[in-house]
Structure 1
Amino acid sequence: MAFDGITIANLTRDFSDRLTGGRIYKIAQTESDELFITVKLSFENAEKYGIKQEKLVLSADASLPLAYLSDESKQSPMTAPNFCMLLRKHIQNGRIMSVTQPGGLERIIRFEVEHLDEMGDLRHKVLLIEIMGKYSNIIFTDENNVIIDSIKHIPASVSSVREVLPGREYFIPSQDKANPLATTADEFSSCVLSKGMPLFKAIYSSYTGLSPIIAQEICYRSGVDADKSAIALDTAESIAVYRAFSDVMDLVRNGSFSPVVVYEDDAPKEYASIPLTLYGMSAGLSAQESAINNQASDLNGYSYKEYESISDLLQSYYAEKNVVTRIRQKSVDLRKIVQTSLERNVRKYDLQLKQMKDSEKKDKYRIYGELLTVYGYSAEPGAEKITVNDYNTGKDVTITLDPTLTPSQNAKKYFDKYTKLKRTAEALEEQMKETKEAIDQLESIQNALEIAQKEADLAQIKQELADSGYIKSHNTGKNGRKEKITSKPFHYLSSDGFDIYVGKNNIQNDELTFKTANGGDWWFHAKKIPGSHVVLITGGKEVPDRAFEEAAALAAYYSKGKVQEKVEIDYVMRKEVKKPGGAKPGFVVYYTNYSMAISPDISALKLISD
């Protein structure tokens, strides 16, 4: 999925249409590398679009850089970072004069802002976001292209190509690529058609802002094999490729964008800001019209979803992925703690199993002691072994003796070994139980970290880790009281209108099972593997089979067995679920239940926002 220069061009057009003339009302730095800017629209745009303000998200996250207009709000940190404070000082209440994309199809968006300085004089500042993978950045400059500050500082020790530091001149890093919007037929021929590499690669490696998928689209429109060597094209093929290239560039120049996601077997395959004819779409036709045409073509298996704006597409496609990325970044330390503790406990459990296996010899030593007590008198003085009949089995047994000890002393020696191993086995049994409970808890915490979506979810996991002694507790507010945690279980609505709740972690699992649900509700859990407690609220009504299957699917999806084709799920009425005294969070027992094998597919279920 390519966040390429054409996507940036589409965003720039949308931002320019909506934000130009608007005033910057609020600036928040919601993440270390992300800005959330509220813009009050101009009177004309407010009338045109029927809204008074837009929320602009600019993210320079190395793994998932983004820029889009959002319809959701984000929580600001209690203390604003320095970069945010600097922007507030300079451009809050400033007017956005223009939004442009410099350098043709460079992956850069430039916001020019007009504002009054401390003396009341009119000034211009520039806010740029560079969407360049791990090199992404948000840079703030003055009207003379001098960097005032940036969300990421890049010294010479990090990049020999360009320093990004206050006081340095801002310039676009050179990529030795041509501007595709300003090329001619002769330039195209010299840039692309002289290269001995696959045609599609020659196209995207020659021009700024073109992704491999757009290069393949150009080849497909031209009717020339994308994998054919560019230097091997004949005259007719060369003309066809340049014509297709020009047609795509005309779409960009004219702002004729049609944001669309292409699905293959219901899974997103690609997205673009122009129709992707290589997946059966028709240039100039809507996604719906293309889909109708596609049903009668040989290109089966593809479907399309059109969006009104590229911001809607990006927010829809990347929102969940962005949340997961952010939470994974913030949970790295917790994951490491849990993994380290889990590995330590697994090693301990393996050692305890070995020790328990060794202790199984205790009964043999007891029998040896008993046999020596009965038959020891027959042993010759100084004998190193004796063979006697075991009256328990009727078979002869050879017992090793210490020749320096009497038969009764040898018997006592074996009884002492038995007693020692017996005590060891009793202690090990308790220790193994504790170690196994710790392993089960840590594996369930791992599962909780996988499904966490908000910082409040992580806070609750931290609380459990602190309560269990794995980390120090820091979640205290004023007067030493614990801070309130607002994380809530997932809330789904079944196809038949029944409420289904899913615990996100062990603390929520206990609350959900023993406080939210009543005895007549149904409880679900993946069999013998870590997973969430799932509760189907009956409301005193008869529950149809489909609701049971959907609740079971949720239990499968939010378990360690999610990747399996089928997961075995236990389900039982809530009143049959008990929590043993002193049990760890999330641990319950039940002695009678139903079971079903279900696919972890929850696509038919509706998630109610928490």
Structure 2
Amino acid sequence: MAFDGIVVANLVYELKTELLNGRITKIAQPEPDELLLTVKSAAGQKRLYISASASLPLIYLTEENKPSPMTAPNFCMLLRKHINGGRIVNIWQPGLERILHFTIEHLDELGDLCQKELIVEIMGKHSNIIFCDAKGNIIDSIKHVSAQMSSVREVLPGRSYFIPDTMKKADPFCVSEEMFFSLLTEKAMPLSKAIYTSFTGISPTVAEEITFLCGIDSSIPAKELSGDVLHHLYNQFHIYLSDIKNNNFTPAIYYDGAEPTEFSSLPLTHFKNYSRREFSSICLVLETYYSLRNTLTRIRQKSADLRHIVQTALERNRKKYDLQLKQLKDTLNRDKYKIYGELIHTYGYNLEEGAKKLEALNYYTNEMVSIPLDAGKTPAENAQRYFDKYNKQKRTFEALSHLSQETKEEILYLESIQTALDIALTEEDLSEIKEELIRSGYMRRKFTRKKIKIKNQPLHYISSDGFHMYVGKNNLQNDELTFNFAVGNDWWFHTKDAPGSHVIVKSEGRELPDSTFEEAGRLAAYYSSMRGGKKVEIDYVEKKHVKKPKGGKPGFVVYYTNYSLIIDSDIRQITPAD
């Protein structure tokens, strides 16, 4: 995630618009490393959420309130004493650092006007919220950093505040062309890495974007580039950063299907494989992005037990299937023993007593064969021994053929549940998958007096030609869509020989255009184990030709006549229904 200096610059611009000259009316500390400031300004009452969490440092405006502890922490009480009722007179960013300064004007104990600085550092595990006086002395901080914790900078009351320059990075706004060349060419590393390690506020994603705009391979070291190419890179670098100086921000989130992958304040044109959604506010971007990411993370955590059950069953069935195939392979030569028995019956009348082998002509192939014999048995007994061996392997083959097919179907079924877990986005999705595992015997149903009803809807898209397309998120939904929701002339889509969702296109008695067939095929490819593939084979057929075999597992269908298409799994241009 690119929470870099550019995003902070966008935040500063936006917060100035919303909070400047506003009065702080309430200060709360919901968590040990969080602040929630309520500010009343000309734009109305706003809540500013600040988190110095090591795992998720954030700052944005929000409408949501959070419950506070009954007893306010010391840092919160200190801020209330000094700046509650204070006026925010300036919000600024030093250079392109991931730091925001809030200059707050307030009356001290004697009624004199004075200023304080609330400094928010968004620096990963080193994030902090620091409260300083007008001279830059630290009054207190939400996290104390002693000399034992950091040899670079102490963050303790009474110490002077300064920005540690540990990386020796240059200010991108002040760099000359000569210094630009020197910084990049002295580092024996790929060009994009040289850019983001040389300048403050530049993330790896932005460095990739700058090289992409220049048409330069980001993996080439800068020292291998000619002077003209470096000059072109320098100009593009400043053109890109000029949008920051002009406050020309375009906040957006980039999605891989339904999953948010990246956010930015400036366009990222090299993200060709992701869909882009613009927002009017960087605060809205951050709140939306991290809310979705938190939801997905929570869903993945809650699905861990289900995944373990499915994975354990898969491993067991795959081992069983491998053993069955090995045993089947051992029965491939069973006909040989039948022929041996026949040849002994045919040529064994002139065998000497105690013979250990029989040389005979195989009248099926006209080749001589050597048949091992048990010297202690008669020819008839030797022949019967081979017939018994043949019959045993024949029975084994017939039994294993049936069992291995069942095991293979079980593996495919478990893989389809695994795919459904990958698609799951809500707790309702997980509840439905859990119900399926209970019905299939992989989990036990816990006793409960109250019966839980699952009301979960399939995914719904609109084709570019206005046709409604529905995607099942799991096997139970697939069955419901195909056999209860769809009618005979609707079209059914599914990946060929791979687990995935059933996709239904409602035809409403009309003929589907080619573009709708392609879009439905892309949905079937994306919501399957073939997601990300550029050439995925899709079977499609009218729903009336899709049948449910007797005793078939959820989601399992058969069809005997179908069409096929090969399509990619890119659904960025397909519109989800509201």
TM-score (norm 2): 0.69
Q: What residue number does 2:379 align with?
A: 407
The alignment status of 1:366 with 2:338, answered yes or no, reads: yes
Q: What residue number does 2:17 align with?
A: 17
| Closer/same/farther in 2, CA of residues 317 and 418 from structure 1, 3 Å limit | same
- What CA deviation, in whole Å up to 9, does each residue of 1:276-313 have, x standing for no partner? 9xx9xxxxxxxxxxxxxxxxxxxxxxxx9986433356
- The alignment yields a C-alpha RMSD, in angstroms, of 5.9
Instruction: Give the Å deviation of 1:504.
Output: 1.9
| Closer/same/farther in 2, CA of residues 4 and 399 from structure 1, 3 Å limit | same
Instruction: Give the Å deviation of 1:14.
Output: 1.8
Larger mean CA deviation between 499-508 and 99-108 belongs to: 99-108
Instruction: Give the Å deviation of 1:521.
Output: 1.7
| Closer/same/farther in 2, CA of residues 178 and 385 from structure 1, 3 Å limit | closer
> What SS does the aligned partner of 1:412 have?
helix
Q: State which of 161, 164, 169 in structure 2 corresponds to 1:174.
A: 164
Instruction: Give the Å deviation of 1:217.
Output: 7.3
Counterpart amino acid of 1:176?
Answer: T
The alignment status of 1:354 with 2:343, answered yes or no, reads: no
| Closer/same/farther in 2, CA of residues 113 and 524 from structure 1, 3 Å limit | farther
> What SS does the aligned partner of 1:560 have?
coil
Q: What residue number does 2:414 align with?
A: 442
Kept in 2, the 8 Å contact 1:147–1:169? The answer is: no
Q: How does 1:203-602 map to 2 (within 5 A)?
A: 208-211=200-203, 213=206, 256-260=246-250, 308-311=280-283, 327=299, 331=303, 335=307, 338-339=310-311, 341-373=313-345, 375-390=347-362, 397-468=369-440, 472=443, 478-479=448-449, 481=450, 483-485=452-454, 487-602=456-571
Instruction: Give the Å deviation of 1:322.
Output: 7.0
Instruction: Give the Å deviation of 1:100.
Output: 5.0
| Closer/same/farther in 2, CA of residues 195 and 57 from structure 1, 3 Å limit | closer
1 CA distance for matches of 2:565 and 2:241? 55
Instruction: Give the Å deviation of 1:176.
Output: 3.1
- What CA deviation, in whole Å up to 9, does each residue of 1:32-69 have, x standing for no partner? x99897x87737313xxxxx76796969584x765445
Kept in 1, the 8 Å contact 2:146–2:156? The answer is: no
2 CA distance for matches of 1:597 and 1:530? 16
2 CA distance for matches of 1:372 and 1:604? 72
Instruction: Give the Å deviation of 1:369.
Output: 3.0
Instruction: Give the Å deviation of 1:551.
Output: 1.4
Q: What residue number does 1:120 align with?
A: none
Q: What residue number does 1:3 align with?
A: 3
Q: State which of 116, 123, 127 in structure 2 corresponds to 1:132.
A: 123
| Closer/same/farther in 2, CA of residues 206 and 555 from structure 1, 3 Å limit | closer
- What CA deviation, in whole Å up to 9, does each residue of 1:140-162 have, x standing for no partner? 99998656689xxx9999x6669
Counterpart amino acid of 1:406?
Answer: T
| Closer/same/farther in 2, CA of residues 182 and 403 from structure 1, 3 Å limit | closer
Q: What residue number does 1:288 align with?
A: none
> What SS does the aligned partner of 2:42 have?
helix
- What CA deviation, in whole Å up to 9, does each residue of 1:314-367 have, x standing for no partner? 578888777666655665665565455444433432332121111122232233
Instruction: Give the Å deviation of 1:593.
Output: 1.5
2 CA distance for matches of 1:468 and 1:162? 59
Instruction: Give the Å deviation of 1:21.
Output: 4.1
2 CA distance for matches of 1:516 and 1:331? 28
Counterpart amino acid of 1:547?
Answer: T
2 CA distance for matches of 1:548 and 1:182? 49
| Closer/same/farther in 2, CA of residues 333 and 549 from structure 1, 3 Å limit | same
2 CA distance for matches of 1:338 and 1:196? 52
2 CA distance for matches of 1:305 and 1:607? 13
Kept in 1, the 8 Å contact 2:27–2:35? The answer is: no
| Closer/same/farther in 2, CA of residues 201 and 554 from structure 1, 3 Å limit | closer
2 CA distance for matches of 1:41 and 1:410? 99
Instruction: Give the Å deviation of 1:420.
Output: 2.4
Larger mean CA deviation between 308-317 and 348-357 belongs to: 308-317
Instruction: Give the Å deviation of 1:581.
Output: 2.9
- What CA deviation, in whole Å up to 9, does each residue of 1:374-414 have, x standing for no partner? 55433321111123455656665432211112223223322
Counterpart amino acid of 2:9?
Answer: A
Kept in 2, the 8 Å contact 1:492–1:606? The answer is: yes
| Closer/same/farther in 2, CA of residues 103 and 227 from structure 1, 3 Å limit | same
Counterpart amino acid of 1:498?
Answer: F
Q: State which of 43, 46, 51 in structure 2 corresponds to 1:45.
A: 43
Instruction: Give the Å deviation of 1:447.
Output: 2.7
| Closer/same/farther in 2, CA of residues 363 and 516 from structure 1, 3 Å limit | same
Instruction: Give the Å deviation of 1:502.
Output: 0.8
Gaps of 5+ in 1: 47-51, 115-124, 280-303
Instruction: Give the Å deviation of 1:484.
Output: 4.3
Q: What residue number does 1:197 align with?
A: 186
Kept in 2, the 8 Å contact 1:366–1:415? The answer is: yes
Kept in 1, the 8 Å contact 2:491–2:540? The answer is: yes
Gaps of 5+ in 2: 106-115, 215-219, 270-275
> What SS does the aligned partner of 2:43 have?
helix
Counterpart amino acid of 1:45?
Answer: A
2 CA distance for matches of 1:536 and 1:57? 46
Q: What residue number does 2:272 align with?
A: none
Larger mean CA deviation between 524-533 and 384-393 belongs to: 384-393
Q: What residue number does 1:117 align with?
A: none
> What SS does the aligned partner of 1:523 have?
strand
1 CA distance for matches of 2:422 and 2:521? 19
Instruction: Give the Å deviation of 1:536.
Output: 0.6
Kept in 2, the 8 Å contact 1:8–1:101? The answer is: no
2 CA distance for matches of 1:588 and 1:327? 29
1 CA distance for matches of 2:161 and 2:420? 45
Instruction: Give the Å deviation of 1:529.
Output: 1.7
> What SS does the aligned partner of 1:570 have?
strand
2 CA distance for matches of 1:318 and 1:24? 25
Kept in 2, the 8 Å contact 1:141–1:170? The answer is: no
2 CA distance for matches of 1:28 and 1:86? 9
2 CA distance for matches of 1:84 and 1:163? 33
Kept in 1, the 8 Å contact 2:541–2:562? The answer is: yes
2 CA distance for matches of 1:173 and 1:600? 47
Q: What residue number does 1:49 align with?
A: none
1 CA distance for matches of 2:546 and 2:154? 60
> What SS does the aligned partner of 1:42 have?
strand
1 CA distance for matches of 2:348 and 2:486? 66
Q: What residue number does 1:107 align with?
A: 98
Counterpart amino acid of 1:536?
Answer: V
Q: How does 1:7-156 map to 2 (within 5 A)?
A: 7-18=7-18, 20-21=22-23, 42=40, 44-46=42-44, 62=55, 67-69=59-61, 98=88, 105-109=96-100, 130-133=121-124, 135=125, 146=140
> What SS does the aligned partner of 2:375 have?
coil
Counterpart amino acid of 2:164?
Answer: S
TM-score (norm 1): 0.66
1 CA distance for matches of 2:531 and 2:365? 51
Instruction: Give the Å deviation of 1:18.
Output: 2.5
> What SS does the aligned partner of 1:260 have?
coil
Aligned length: 531
